[in-house]
Chain A
Amino acid sequence: MKLVTAVIKPHKWEDVRMALESVGVTGMTVSEVSGYGRQKGHTEVYRGAEYDVALVPKIRLEVVVGDEDVETIVSTIQTSASTGRIGDGKVWVSPLDSVLRVRTGDRDDAAI
């Protein structure tokens, strides 16, 4: 079992969700986050005063998947989230020790 976490551009979120649904992903957790990478922030000017806005708004989505689906899901996110421009985001995969479905008590692969 793996946790796939992706940080993507907010306006690509609909594309990514639809692409993931088309490869069989049935659920995910999504949060509005902010951060920066190589893209850095931007500058805003108010009455002549410049402000460096370091943090850029992003969407973070988290999907719990079985080991065999990891590659499909990571590449689906990559193709659907990509604009080819700086700031497209990142995807990372981490191992999971156990998973529990709260309603039924199912464990691990049965709970995915």
Chain B
Amino acid sequence: MDGYYAFMLIATALVLMMTVPALALFYGGMSRSKSVLNMMMMSYIAAAIVGILYVAVGWSMGWSGDVASGGTFFASPFDMLWLKDVATEGYVSVMFQMTFAIITVALISGAVADRMKFSAWVVFVPLWALLCYFPMAHMVFSCTEDSLICGRIGAQDYAGGTAVHINAGVAALVLVLLLGKRIGWPKDQMRPHNLTLTMLGAGLLWFGWYGFNVGSIVFTGTTDEENLAQFFSETGRTFANTTLATMAAILGWLLIERLMHGKATSLGAASGIVAGLVAITPAAGAVDIEGAVAIGVIAGAVCAWAVGLKYKLGYDDSLDVVGVHLVGGIVGTVLIGVFSTSDGAGGIDGLLYGGGAGSLGDQVLGVLVAVVFSGVVTAIIALAIKFTMGLRIDEEDEVEGIDLAAHGETAYDLHTGMGGGGGGKTGVLGTQPVVTEGAR
């Protein structure tokens, strides 16, 4: 299994790349020029905080129990505190799971653009990882007999439709409801400031997602030979499914966009990529390639429609974390019950392959549990922050731009020679240039 080990090292680096910098670029391009640095920083700081916290207690909460007694919601945070008793050759598994925790938390940041206090984010991130993600990862990925979503309900989730995407999507929805709309939304212009960054980020997410989905293989064999055979067949399946679903989702999104709004847009293509990847995440091992194409095209079309819901319902989910990750995650997780085949990773035939509605019921129940758990826990954390330190920046800072208010920086110097465009201390007109003696 040397090849598997080498592959996992690469897969782990790929998944970390999905947050730093892929997600930061994807979100940064969609935000406004006065808040792009803050948007990117929310991903970068999440990587730093969640990574360390995961090694401290996250791995233990997920995986420290044995198969028969792992806990329903989470395992002991202390049995493997700081990777106690974990052999160093097991570290690659720890690092792989750590990157999942990081990106799940970072995904939420797209919803709160322009207006969430950086300090509140820095407090929210570890609390949410600890109380919401680590338990959910145990419920879904550890798959011990007691674990709620995998063990007890029996819902299939290959790489995180529930634990990652539904979890982050629900958290985003709850957070924006408590945070409120941006000043001027939806009346003012808040269009993306640099879609080339977004296209680049979406492409890098796609690339990194091969680590995410293909690396999520769980061996079921009893000998190395059996496991090796599983490795060869299953990684081919998950790689192909990840690819085809994403392609289909681009087409699905663009088709709906063309029909509803007249033009196929680059932002639509970038969004379609992410919607397809989100939806195939839980289903990557369970379906065959026809199922992957079907899930992709459905996810692309449904998400293209769902991103319009915020205008009808009035919640300011700034960069559509709900419309893409919650909706895409639900689509993919539920459709496993329709499209899964018995030669797939779960060994279960879905509705369309004569397996009856039992699996579909399990999938729906798994989704509901994830939605309720994430909703309740996120609400408690967000309310606690709201009524202590506060969630939101001052009105004046929000209008001026959170980059300057929170970080003392502006992203672009578009007027060289005039000290930059964005409210810095230097400038020719009206403000006194600050020049050091040496620079004169």
Q: Interface on A for B, CB 8 Å cutoff?
A: 44-51, 53
Do the beta carbons of B189 and A47 come within 8 Å of each other?
Answer: no
Do the beta carbons of B271 and A47 come within 8 Å of each other?
Answer: yes
Do the beta carbons of B307 and A44 come within 8 Å of each other?
Answer: no
Do the beta carbons of B186 and A47 come within 8 Å of each other?
Answer: no
Question: Inside 8 A of B265's CB, which chain A residues have their CB?
Answer: 45-46
CA distance A76 to B320 in the complex (A): 51
CA distance A38 to B85 in the complex (A): 75
| Cβ-defined partner of B267 (8 Å) among A47, A50, A51, A53 | A47
Kindly name the residue among B261, B268, B304 whose own CB sees the greatest number of chain A CB atoms within 10 A: B261
Considering the complex, give the chain B residue whose CB is closest to the CB of A48. B308
- A47-B320, A48-B257 given; 6 more Cβ-contact pairs under 8 Å: A46-B265, A46-B267, A47-B304, A48-B307, A51-B189, A51-B191
For residue B302, give the distance in angstroms from its CB to the closest CB of chain A. 13
Question: Inside 8 A of B263's CB, which chain A residues have their CB?
Answer: 45
Kindly name the residue among A47, A50, A51 whose own CB sees the greatest number of chain B CB atoms within 10 A: A47
List 19 A-B pairs, Cβ < 8 Å. Answer: A45-B261, A45-B262, A45-B263, A45-B265, A46-B191, A47-B267, A47-B323, A48-B257, A48-B260, A48-B261, A48-B304, A48-B307, A48-B308, A49-B191, A49-B308, A49-B311, A50-B261, A51-B189, A51-B191
Interface string of B177-196 (1 = CB under 8 A from A): 00000000010010110000
Question: Inside 8 A of A49's CB, which chain B residues have their CB?
Answer: 186, 191, 308, 311
Which range contains the number of B residues in contact with the other chain?
10 to 19
Do the beta carbons of B260 and A46 come within 8 Å of each other?
Answer: no
Q: Interface on B for A, CB 8 Å cutoff?
A: 186, 189, 191-192, 257, 260-263, 265, 267-268, 271, 304, 307-308, 311, 320, 323
CA distance A47 to B323 in the complex (A): 10
Question: Inside 8 A of B191's CB, which chain A residues have their CB?
Answer: 44, 46, 49, 51
4 tightest A-B CB contacts, nearest first? A48-B308, A47-B307, A45-B261, A51-B191
For residue A11, give the distance in angstroms from its CB to the closest CB of chain B. 21
Considering the complex, give the chain B residue whose CB is closest to the CB of A54. B189
For residue B411, give the distance in angstroms from its CB to the closest CB of chain A. 19
For residue A55, give the distance in angstroms from its CB to the closest CB of chain B. 11
CA distance A50 to B308 in the complex (A): 11
CA distance A51 to B186 in the complex (A): 10
Question: Inside 8 A of A46's CB, which chain B residues have their CB?
Answer: 191-192, 265, 267
For residue A17, give the distance in angstroms from its CB to the closest CB of chain B. 22
CA distance A50 to B189 in the complex (A): 9
Question: Inside 8 A of B307's CB, which chain A residues have their CB?
Answer: 47-48
Question: Inside 8 A of B260's CB, which chain A residues have their CB?
Answer: 48
Question: Inside 8 A of A47's CB, which chain B residues have their CB?
Answer: 267-268, 271, 304, 307-308, 320, 323
Considering the complex, give the chain A residue whose CB is closest to the CB of B305. A48
CA distance A45 to B186 in the complex (A): 14
CA distance A47 to B241 in the complex (A): 26
CA distance A45 to B265 in the complex (A): 8
CA distance A45 to B189 in the complex (A): 11
Question: Inside 8 A of A53's CB, which chain B residues have their CB?
Answer: 189
Considering the complex, give the chain A residue whose CB is closest to the CB of B311. A49
For residue A85, give the distance in angstroms from its CB to the closest CB of chain B. 22
Considering the complex, give the chain A residue whose CB is closest to the CB of B257. A48
For residue A33, give the distance in angstroms from its CB to the closest CB of chain B. 14
Question: Inside 8 A of A51's CB, which chain B residues have their CB?
Answer: 189, 191
Question: Inside 8 A of B304's CB, which chain A residues have their CB?
Answer: 47-48
Question: Inside 8 A of B186's CB, which chain A residues have their CB?
Answer: 49
CA distance A49 to B316 in the complex (A): 13
CA distance A49 to B190 in the complex (A): 10
For residue A27, give the distance in angstroms from its CB to the closest CB of chain B. 20
